[in-house]
Structure 1
Amino acid sequence: MMLSFEINAQRRSEFGKGAIRRLRRKGFVPAIIYGVKKEPVPLTLSHDDLLKRLELEGFYSRILTVNIDNQPEKVVLKDLQRHPSRPAVMHMDFQRVSETEKLHRRVPLHFTNEEQCVGVKQSGGTVSHHTAEVEIRCLPKDLPEYIEVDLTNIKLNEIVHLFDLVLSEGVELVALAHKDTERNLPIVSVHLLRGAKAEEESGEEGAAEGEKQQEE
Structure 2
Amino acid sequence: MRQHGRADEPDKRALRRQLLRVRNGLPEDDIRSSADALAGQALLLPELAAARTVAAYVSVGGEPGTRALLDTLRARGVRVLLPALLPDNDLDWAEYTGPGSLAPVRHDGRMELLEPSGPRLGPDAVASADTVLLPGLAVDEHGMRLGRGGGSYDRVLARLESAGARPALVVLLYDTEVVARVPAEPHDRPVHAVVTPTGVRRFTRP
Q: Which has the higher strand share?
A: 1
TM-score norm. by structure 2 comes to 0.22
| Larger RCO: 1 or 2 (CA < 8 Å, sep 6+) | 2
Between Structure 1 and Structure 2, the one with more helix by share is: 2
